[in-house]
């Protein structure tokens, strides 16, 4: 059954990050192609699904979009538990949001699925004039921590689909080769560097 | 800084993922077993038979005789069997034992079948099966079985089974109104077996083992899939039968009977098969009351809504009225402006809401900013005092200089949160739209002032949703602030960092669903949905995101009357869930799908019918419902009363 041509994957993906960083906007851009200037805050959590074709496989993302405020932190494990992938979102115009993103990375490294594919997304890349976090700093952090990094703009759609595509490519396949998890991790920084290059 | 003090609800400290217990704490406990059980009022006795006796044991001395009655109330028929007092001489049967067997107001909508037995020696008796459970055989010492069945036939649809001349299948589809209701979303024509959530605690097991369900095609297909997975050949025939049944969802019972007969041609009907299944499961024997009792065939077994038919016998949520208008409002006020009868006012508002141009005035009472017994003059005074008090608190943050702010992280953080949220709250309303909108600034200032007024709670996402409609109505910054303060006296715990306020409401919700719709409860239990987090948004911000603005205003003023319960919002949750129960269960939604489904109901909920259903559910649940809600569950006021709000009566009617 598991022919290479019919590799269909379901992958749970969670978006984490500071409030107002643009988590919901990224998802809505990806899932519905929409962008709202004043996207309302997420209360509790929202769930979306979207299927991507990657090479000869399809990946159906089951996406959990979470509330960003620290106050709701205690609910987050419910959503990232068992996730195959996470996008940690920060706002390039907010140093605090980058700090918060690092905390999420730490938490996932401690609590999350050890094989989780993690992406760091510096959102609002269209607001170059207000930038507070440089791409270099973020990329360096991502490389150190085995994440791949992209700067995105939900508003202009820049790199939004790319983040999800890249995650889809990196997901362990349904019938995985016997690679131990550690080996996958070792591979990631290199791939991450390559992926990041698609981001200007 | 690591603060563990319970009062510290600030946002800057890292907070360890806390509530792992949260969901697990919401495990099921035994549901209340009692149906509130008085004889229905305004009831007409249509059948009465004395010396109807049960034989709890083989000993003649332990037989209990009583009076059997059929009682008609409205369109519904109930059966009661009450043992005689002090009639039995033996000592082994306590009054309690007798009480155990008492049948109080069993609605026929709960009854699935009645089997008549005519032994060659002895009395005729019947076995009534309700919600999958057989009551003890009722022996008619003075005869009257035929009359009993004939009377039933006059009032409810009862069909003699084609497979067994002594088996009478009961249905309740006589009333054309019921038919109409059933065609909306009910499980279909087989829903005669409405299990009673308030009945025996073992209902649940039956449901679990036999979610064969009826009516909804989808549900049947789903079950079909599962069945096949289980490779239980004994069930396959049931499946075929189910599939046939599924086609008759909206047809009357006769059609069903015919199909049933067709599927039985080969003599391997579901009765046989199911009997086998049942025997293999560990079903103790409520249905095997004694040796001579057969298991009454319980054909397709749908977790139909236990209240679907009962509700017609309730005051089914009074019709919504027109909103309270100016003239009528004046009639509630005495010459000095006091509200003479606040309860009557609240009741009136509950049933109709308030005309839009009156809201500004009326809301201030509902929220507790004005007390009901205040005069015009007193209120004028309150407004001016409160205005200056507001300005004082506002000055606290306005006077923070940029230099001071640099050294005041919490302030900067809070302001940042509020800045981010106010610009994305209800911006599509003309009241808040456009750049540099003054009302958005007012919202910002009120929220920041509140975060100083209640520094422990601070600002939390969702608060702007609660404030927005209040500011929209009050239009005045100070008054909106104080009304918001009043609202958060009740809803503040929704934002507790430990989520305790939300947990207690979600917990109460799960208890209420267990009480009011045990099949749905069991479904959630089996699918790990008992934490009810899919209702989180509904409760946190009082359905603000579920309705368009005007409906939200209506809903809120209705909720704030706290009539007929402070916790009507939980019954609203249930009313909405019940409207979609067949879809939820039929499509076998898991937690993710359910959350998505619930979120997408936004804008699709019809408020008025939901309010009526919520009212009916609340009335139906009665004291059992109230007892399912832990004391102090928001929006109940916290135990230590703040002097400002004590005038608000928290009636639970």
pLDDT digits (tens, 9 = 90+) for B44-64: 889 999 889 888 776 777 788
Least confident residue range of B94-98, B202-206, B249-253, B390-394: B249-253
Give contacts of A62 with chain B, Cβ < 8 Å.
Answer: 592
The answer to whether the CB atoms of B537 and A20 lie below 8 A apart is no
CB under 8 Å to B357, separation ≥6 — which residues?
Answer: B326
Give contacts of B599 with chain A, Cβ < 8 Å.
Answer: 46-47
Residue B211 pLDDT more than 50? no
The answer to whether the CB atoms of B461 and A68 lie below 8 A apart is yes
Nearest Cα to Cα of residue B131 among B205, B29, B53, B224: B205
Q: What is the CA angle B30-B32-B35, rounded to 5?
A: 150
pLDDT for B610: 94
Q: Which of B461, B497, B505, B594 to mutate to test the interface with A (most CBs of A within 10 A)?
A: B461
Q: What percent of chain B has pLDDT over 70?
A: 66
Q: Which residues pair with A64 in a beta bridge?
A: A14, A47
The ipTM is 0.84
- Smallest Cα distance from B464 to chain A, Å: 10
Within an 8 Å CB–CB cutoff, is residue B424 touching chain A? yes
Residue B36 pLDDT more than 50? no
Contact A74, B497 (CB under 8 A): yes
Residue B502 pLDDT more than 70? yes
The beta-carbon neighbor of A103 closest among B14, B427, B540 is B14
H/E stretch holding B81 = strand B76-83
Closest alpha carbon within chain B to A103: B14
The answer to whether the CB atoms of A71 and B460 lie below 8 A apart is yes
- Smallest Cα distance from B497 to chain A, Å: 5
Within an 8 Å CB–CB cutoff, is residue B231 touching chain A? no
- Residue B415 to residue B418: CA distance in whole angstroms: 5
CB under 8 Å to B464, separation ≥6 — which residues?
Answer: A41, B418, B421, B422, B425, B443, B447
Domain A7-196 has CATH 3.40.50.300: yes
Mean pLDDT of B533-556: 97
- Residue B317 to residue B571: CA distance in whole angstroms: 12
For helices B568-579 and B500-516, give the axis angle rounded to 10 degrees. 50
Q: Which of B8, B11, B412, B424 to mutate to test the interface with A (most CBs of A within 10 A)?
A: B424
The answer to whether the CB atoms of A48 and B596 lie below 8 A apart is yes
pLDDT for B544: 97
Compare B392 and B113 and report the one with higher pLDDT.
Answer: B392
Mean pLDDT of A97-121: 95
**Is residue B225 helix, strand or coil?**
helix
Mean pLDDT of A59-83: 92
The beta-carbon neighbor of A44 closest among B15, B425, B537 is B537
Compare B99 and B137 and report the one with higher pLDDT.
Answer: B137
pLDDT for A89: 98
Contact B324, B158 (CB under 8 A): no
Residue B641 pLDDT more than 60? no
**Pair of tokens at residue B21:** 């217990």
What chain B holds in terms of domains, given with CATH numbers, is 20-28+498-645 (1.10.472.80), 44-285+298-313 (2.30.29.230), 326-494 (1.10.8.270)
Kindly indicate the confidence band of residue B95, based on its pLDDT and cuts at 50, 70 and 90.
Answer: low
Residue B236 pLDDT more than 90? no
The answer to whether the CB atoms of B545 and A43 lie below 8 A apart is yes
Phi-psi region of B242 (alpha: psi -120 to 50; beta: other; left: phi over 0): alpha
CB under 8 Å to B280, separation ≥6 — which residues?
Answer: none
pLDDT for B540: 97
The answer to whether the CB atoms of B545 and A75 lie below 8 A apart is no
Radius of gyration over alpha carbons of chain A, in Å? 16
Closest alpha carbon within chain B to A78: B20
The answer to whether the CB atoms of A69 and B11 lie below 8 A apart is yes
Least confident residue range of A119-128, B227-236, B391-400: B227-236
pLDDT for B156: 84
Within an 8 Å CB–CB cutoff, is residue B596 touching chain A? yes
Within an 8 Å CB–CB cutoff, is residue B134 touching chain A? no
Compare B307 and A12 and report the one with higher pLDDT.
Answer: A12
Round the average pLDDT of chain A to a whole number and report it.
85
Within an 8 Å CB–CB cutoff, is residue B583 touching chain A? no
The answer to whether the CB atoms of A38 and B460 lie below 8 A apart is no
Round the average pLDDT of chain B to a whole number and report it.
75
pLDDT for B406: 96
- Residue B93 to residue B56: CA distance in whole angstroms: 10
Within an 8 Å CB–CB cutoff, is residue B172 touching chain A? no
Within an 8 Å CB–CB cutoff, is residue B251 touching chain A? no
Within an 8 Å CB–CB cutoff, is residue B602 touching chain A? no
- Smallest Cα distance from B240 to chain A, Å: 30
**Pair of tokens at residue A90:** 């920060």
CB interface of B with A, residues 444-503, below 8 Å: 460-462, 464-465, 495, 497-499
Domain spans of chain A, in order of start: 7-196
Nearest Cα to Cα of residue A42 among A12, A8, A71, A19: A19
The full DSSP string for A69-87 is SGGGGGGHHHHHTT-SEEE
Give contacts of B540 with chain A, Cβ < 8 Å.
Answer: 43-44
Closest alpha carbon within chain B to A62: B592
Give contacts of B495 with chain A, Cβ < 8 Å.
Answer: 71
- Smallest Cα distance from A135 to chain B, Å: 23
The beta-carbon neighbor of B421 closest among A41, A75, A107 is A41
Give contacts of A132 with chain B, Cβ < 8 Å.
Answer: none
Mean pLDDT of A119-143: 98
Beta carbons within 10 angstroms of residue B284's beta carbon: 9
Kindly indicate the confidence band of residue B128, based on its pLDDT and cuts at 50, 70 and 90.
Answer: confident
The beta-carbon neighbor of B15 closest among A46, A62, A74 is A74
Mean pLDDT of B117-140: 78
Residue B25 pLDDT more than 70? no
- Residue A63 to residue A91: CA distance in whole angstroms: 20
Residue B410 pLDDT more than 90? yes
Beta strands B44-54 and A117-123: pairing type? Answer: unpaired
The answer to whether the CB atoms of A43 and B536 lie below 8 A apart is yes
A28-42, pLDDT tens digit by residue? 999 999 999 999 999
Residue that has been written with the tokens 């107001």 in this structure: B105
Q: What percent of chain B has pLDDT over 90?
A: 48
pLDDT for B554: 98
Give contacts of A21 with chain B, Cβ < 8 Å.
Answer: none
Count of pairs with CB atoms under 8 A, one residue in A, one in B: 87
B452-498, pLDDT tens digit by residue? 999 999 999 999 999 999 999 999 999 999 999 999 999 999 999 88
Closest alpha carbon within chain B to A76: B17
Closest alpha carbon within chain B to A111: B17
The beta-carbon neighbor of B541 closest among A43, A78, A107 is A43
- Residue A9 to residue B209: CA distance in whole angstroms: 32
Q: Name the range with the highest mean pLDDT among B108-117, B118-127, B284-293, B433-442.
A: B433-442
pLDDT for B86: 66
The answer to whether the CB atoms of A43 and B540 lie below 8 A apart is yes
The answer to whether the CB atoms of A78 and B23 lie below 8 A apart is yes
pLDDT for A57: 86
- Smallest Cα distance from A114 to chain B, Å: 18
Beta carbons within 10 angstroms of residue B258's beta carbon: 14
Kindly indicate the confidence band of residue A55, based on its pLDDT and cuts at 50, 70 and 90.
Answer: confident
CB under 8 Å to B49, separation ≥6 — which residues?
Answer: B67, B68, B69, B140, B142, B144, B147, B148
The beta-carbon neighbor of A47 closest among B416, B461, B592 is B592
Kindly indicate the confidence band of residue A75, based on its pLDDT and cuts at 50, 70 and 90.
Answer: confident
The beta-carbon neighbor of A47 closest among B416, B495, B596 is B596
A104, A107, B138, B341 from A112: Cα distances, Å:
10, 7, 60, 58
Within an 8 Å CB–CB cutoff, is residue B540 touching chain A? yes
pLDDT for B143: 87
Compare B603 and B200 and report the one with higher pLDDT.
Answer: B603
Report chain A residues touching chain B, CB-CB < 8 A.
Answer: 19-20, 38-41, 43-49, 62, 64, 67-78, 96, 103, 107, 111
Kindly indicate the confidence band of residue B133, based on its pLDDT and cuts at 50, 70 and 90.
Answer: low
- Smallest Cα distance from B536 to chain A, Å: 6
The beta-carbon neighbor of A38 closest among B427, B497, B537 is B427
Mean pLDDT of B403-431: 96
- Smallest Cα distance from B514 to chain A, Å: 23
The beta-carbon neighbor of A41 closest among B9, B12, B461 is B461
Compare B197 and B509 and report the one with higher pLDDT.
Answer: B509
Within an 8 Å CB–CB cutoff, is residue B427 touching chain A? yes
Residue that has been written with the tokens 């139909």 in this structure: B304
């Amino acid at each position: 059954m598991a022919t290479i041509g019919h590799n269909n994957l379901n992958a749970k993906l969670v978006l984490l990050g500071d409030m107002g960083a643009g988590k919901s906007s990224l998802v809505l851009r990806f899932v519905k192609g929409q962008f709202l200037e004043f996207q309302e805050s997420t209360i509790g959590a929202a769930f979306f699904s979207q299927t991507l074709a990657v090479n000869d496989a399809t990946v159906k993302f089951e996406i959990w979009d979470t509330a960003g405020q620290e106050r709701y932190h205690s609910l987050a494990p419910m959503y990232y538990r068992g996730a195959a992938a996470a996008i940690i979102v920060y706002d390039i115009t907010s140093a605090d949001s980058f700090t918060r993103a690092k905390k999420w990375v730490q938490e996932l490294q401690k609590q999350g699925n050890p094989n989780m594919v993690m992406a760091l997304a510096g959102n609002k890349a269209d607001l170059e004039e207000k930038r507070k976090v440089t791409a270099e700093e973020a990329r360096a952090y991502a490389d150190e921590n085995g994440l791949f990094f992209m700067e995105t703009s939900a508003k202009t759609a820049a790199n939004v689909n790319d983040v999800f595509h890249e995650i889809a490519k990196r997901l362990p396949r349904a019938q995985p080769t016997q690679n131990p998890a550690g080996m996958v991790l070792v591979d990631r920084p290199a791939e991450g560097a390559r992926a990041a290059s698609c981001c200007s | 800084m690591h603060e563990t003090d319970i009062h510290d609800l600030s946002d800057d400290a890292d907070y360890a993922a806390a509530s792992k217990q949260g969901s697990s704490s919401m495990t099921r406990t035994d549901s209340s077993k009692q149906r509130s059980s008085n004889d229905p009022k305004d009831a007409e006795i249509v059948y009465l038979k004395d010396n109807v006796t049960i034989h709890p044991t083989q000993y003649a001395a332990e037989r209990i005789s009583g009076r059997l009655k059929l009682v008609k109330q409205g369109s519904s028929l109930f059966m009661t069997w009450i043992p005689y007092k002090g009639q039995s001489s033996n000592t082994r049967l306590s009054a309690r034992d007798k009480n155990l067997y008492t049948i109080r107001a069993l609605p026929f909508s709960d009854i699935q079948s009645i089997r008549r037995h005519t032994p060659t020696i002895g009395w005729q008796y019947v076995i009534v099966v309700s919600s999958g459970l057989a009551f003890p055989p009722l022996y008619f010492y003075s005869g009257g079985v035929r009359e009993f069945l004939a009377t039933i036939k006059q009032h409810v649809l009862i069909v003699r089974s084609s497979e067994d001349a002594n088996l009478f299948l009961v249905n309740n589809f006589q009333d054309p109104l019921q038919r109409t209701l059933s065609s909306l979303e009910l499980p279909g024509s087989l829903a005669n077996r409405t299990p009673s959530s308030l009945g025996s605690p073992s209902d649940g097991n039956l449901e679990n083992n036999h979610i064969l369900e009826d009516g909804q095609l989808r549900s049947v297909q789903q079950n079909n899939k599962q069945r096949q997975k289980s490779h239980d050949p004994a069930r396959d025939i049931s499946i075929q039968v189910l599939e046939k049944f599924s086609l008759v969802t909206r047809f009357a019972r006769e059609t069903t009977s015919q199909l049933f007969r067709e599927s039985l041609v080969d003599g391997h009907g579901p009765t046989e098969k199911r009997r086998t299944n049942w025997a293999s499961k560990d079903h103790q024997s409520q249905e095997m009351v004694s040796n001579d009792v057969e298991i009454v065939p319980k054909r397709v077994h749908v977790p139909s809504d236990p209240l679907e038919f009962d509700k017609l016998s309730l005051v089914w949520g009074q019709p919504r009225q027109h909103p309270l208008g100016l003239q009528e409002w004046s009639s509630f006020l005495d010459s000095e402006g006091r509200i003479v009868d606040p309860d009557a006012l609240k009741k009136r508002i509950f049933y109709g809401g308030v005309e839009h141009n009156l809201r500004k005035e009326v809301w201030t009472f509902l929220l507790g900013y004005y007390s009901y017994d205040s005069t015009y003059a007193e209120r004028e005074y309150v407004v001016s005092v409160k205005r200056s008090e507001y300005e004082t608190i506002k000055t606290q943050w306005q006077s923070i200089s940029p230099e001071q702010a640099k050294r005041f992280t919490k302030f900067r953080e809070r302001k940042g949160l509020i800045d981010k949220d106010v610009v994305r709250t209800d911006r599509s309303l003309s009241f808040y739209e456009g750049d540099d909108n003054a009302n958005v600034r007012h919202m910002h200032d009120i929220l920041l002032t509140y975060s100083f007024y209640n520094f422990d709670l601070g600002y939390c996402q969702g608060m702007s949703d609660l404030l927005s409609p209040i500011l929209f109505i009050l239009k005045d910054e100070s008054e909106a602030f104080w009304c918001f303060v009043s609202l958060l006296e009740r809803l503040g715990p929704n934002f507790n960092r430990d989520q305790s306020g939300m947990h207690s409401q979600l917990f109460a919700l799960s208890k209420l669903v267990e009480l009011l719709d045990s099949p749905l409860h069991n479904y959630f239990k089996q699918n790990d949905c008992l934490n009810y987090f899919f209702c989180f948004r509904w409760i946190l911000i009082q359905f603000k995101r579920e309705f368009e603005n005007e409906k939200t205003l209506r809903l809120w003023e209705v909720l704030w009357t706290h009539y007929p319960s402070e916790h009507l919002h939980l019954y609203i949750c249930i009313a909405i869930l019940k409207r979609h129960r067949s879809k939820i269960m039929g499509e076998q939604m898991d937690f993710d799908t359910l959350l998505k489904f619930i979120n997408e109901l936004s804008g699709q909920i019809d408020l008025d019918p939901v309010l009526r259903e919520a009212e009916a559910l609340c009335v139906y649940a009665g004291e059992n419902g109230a007892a399912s809600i832990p004391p102090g569950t928001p929006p109940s006021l916290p135990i230590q009363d703040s002097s400002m709000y004590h005038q608000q009566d928290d009636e639970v009617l």
